[in-house]
Chains A and B, each alone.
Chain A
Amino acid sequence: MQLTLGPLMFHWKPDLIQDFYARIADEAPIDRVVLGEVVCSKRLPFYEALIPEIAERLARAGKEVVLASLGLVTLKRERAMLSDLVEAGFAVEVNDLTMMRYLAKNQKFTVGPLVNVYNTGTLDWLIARGASHICLPPELPIETIATLADHGTRAGAGIEVWAYGRLPLAISGRCYHARLAGRSKDSCLFVCEEDMDGLAVDTLDDQKFLAINGVQTLSESRANMVGDVAAIDGAGVTSLRLSPHSEDMVHVAQTFRAACDGNISAGEALAMLAERAVSPRYSNGFMFGKTGADWSHSQIN
């Protein structure tokens, strides 16, 4: 089982971003790192200049580096961002099919979780066009994942699932961080940078529910499949995606690595993550429950 570190979804300060990836390069048992801006094109200029250096350092540390394309593309300058990605010389993760227009014919690419891959027809089409690795949408149940993993791996593509971190549930033209601050997206003043893991949205009965991150809406719970790696492996999945948060992601990656290698039990792995967690609210319901928010301990003895 491979481990992929997904793109940073939040607006962190550039020096934090640099430190974060330096530590990933040096210490995290991660096979593949997806770098770049998926959520909001306005954030990219703050750290764009750092990406080549970060990418090089990760590559020297033996990580496969993939550059992420933007998730919702509407503006001319956002389309230009996509054309820049192709020229950077790394593999590209398609997060919106707009990117397909910028890939060279027969250029290999990977597919991120915001692209709707729900069935074998879509899988076949993407693989025929050069997709070598596909992260499935987070809302799929394990039975569907098994069908797609079997089909995809036979056709030569790696199949990845969302295994750790707040779930990306929606993307909008509207910036909710700006709206809360009484501003519009165009005059947001980057209020989203105050929330390193997004801003929690609670119900009127104080239930933890969602989190906003600019134009993105996430789950408040962190998806956490560390207790389910055997079931996911059994479904034929080849890679797990861990999504960066402000907590110790090296520890998260090490725990997943140990769980995947069978060095610790599901119960031990869960305890190790919960012990150091900023937020101990987890979910694995899209894969194993009735609703996405459900949390069950399927494999703890």
Chain B
Amino acid sequence: MTMLELVCPAGTPASLRAAVEAGADTVYCGFADETNARNFPGLNFSREEMAAGIEYAHERGTKVLVAINTFPQAGNEALWHRAVADAHTVGADAVILADIGLLAYTAKHHGDLRRHLSVQAAAANPDVINFYAEEFGVKRVVLPRVLSVPEIAAINREIDTETEVFVFGGLCVMEEGRCSLSSYATGQSPNMNGVCSPASHVVYEQSGDELVSKLGEFTIDKVGQDAPAPYPTLCKGCFSAGARTGHVFEDAISLDAASLIPQMAKAGVTALKIEGRQRSRAYVAAVVCSFRQAVKACAAGQSIPPSALAKLSEGQDNTLGAYRKTWR
């Protein structure tokens, strides 16, 4: 079986080196501004750091992708255009884009810079993937987390574009790139600002014997005094609807699809993506190392070693998400 490409996150130069050393085929990262979907304080790369990181990776045979996957703000498009030009100049192997205006711009002005379609573009079927390939020369699409494995296989039969799928890390429950829950509560959104449920708007409050996690004005969760306060990621919160109270959208759960790697290979997937540019260098090293073993085992036709990754994920529990059809 062919070896799947392992695409790993790097929020800092140290994480990039850790990912490369742990066996990443490819690392993805972003510039330190709102041009990418992990625009967190202290995260991401200056131009100089990006150039040095790419040089370090290339010397070791690892590719670097630059995510420029937010939607350029009207009147400020130049910031995004500059990010594409600078990624091109420092030798990025591809840029990961979501906005059709920016795709058109990149195809026109940086024709030889390889273009990947971000999960933020929400391309969920063969027609729209072929549309992006024909209109903007997109070579790879990161599939949205709304598809089952058989659906991914069916898509691959109808397209020539490479596909990349998420296998580990934080799980968006909503279709990415089409969610403004965060800006409804905080004014800051993934599409416009590259953030979701931002820490700047998180408040923990003691209320009687309960600890309340709030996002902006809204209570997202409550726990007893002895429990660790859950981070108020909006779609993982506890709410009441009708007669029921609970995690209406999704539990505090992370994606772990390591067990599906052989099926992903059979489904014609090219690359496996690990989420977590906001995570620590140690986390990146550990996850990449585990997945390196899993991908190797899969290529050799062996079974995947029992996943030791559960302890690294956000909550106590893992899910196969939409890859299993009953998740819907």
Contacts and interface: CB of A to CB of B under 8 A. Distances in A.
A291 interface: yes
Interface stretch (A204-212, A224-232, A243-251, A264-272): A204-212
B145 A119 contact: no
A50 to B, nearest CB: 27
Contact of B71 (A119, A174, A203, A286): A119
A173 B169 CA distance: 18
Interface string A69-82: 00111110011001
B248 A180 contact: yes
B327 to A, nearest CB: 6
Interface in B104-147: 104-105, 122-125, 127-128, 130-132, 144-147
Contacts of A239: none
B34 to A, nearest CB: 12
Interface in B204-256: 212, 216-222, 235, 237-242, 244-245, 248-250
B175 A172 contact: yes
Q: How large is the interface on A (under 10, 10 to 19, 20 to 34, 35 or more residues)?
A: 35 or more
A278 interface: no
A85 interface: no
A202 B174 contact: no
Given A173-B328, A291-B187, A116 B146 contact: no
Contacts of B238: 204
Given A174-B173, A179-B248, A207 B218 contact: yes
Nearest to B76: A119
A-side binding surface: helix, strand, loop or mixed? mixed
A173 B218 contact: no
B73 A125 contact: no
B183 A291 contact: yes
B175 A170 contact: yes
B146 A167 contact: no
Interface string A270-288: 0000000000000001100
B146 A172 contact: yes
Given A73-B124, A122-B101, A125-B101, A202 B322 contact: no
Interface stretch (A29-37, A55-63, A92-100, A253-261): A92-100
B259 to A, nearest CB: 20
A299 interface: no
A212 B181 CA distance: 12
Given A186-B328, A204-B245, A212-B241, A73 B183 contact: no
B316 interface: no
Nearest to B245: A204
Given A120-B101, A121-B102, A148-B74, A72 B175 contact: yes
Interface string A219-239: 100000000000000000000
B230 to A, nearest CB: 12
B191 A116 contact: yes
Contact of A98 (B127, B145, B146): B127
Interface of B: 71-75, 77, 98-102, 104-105, 122-125, 127-128, 130-132, 144-147, 151, 173-175, 177-181, 183-187, 189, 191-192, 212, 216-222, 235, 237-242, 244-245, 248-250, 322, 325-328
29 contacts: A72-B122, A74-B151, A96-B122, A114-B178, A116-B177, A120-B77, A121-B72, A139-B180, A144-B73, A147-B75, A167-B184, A169-B184, A170-B175, A171-B174, A171-B178, A171-B179, A172-B173, A173-B322, A174-B249, A174-B327, A184-B326, A184-B328, A199-B241, A202-B239, A204-B222, A286-B180, A290-B187, A291-B183, A293-B184
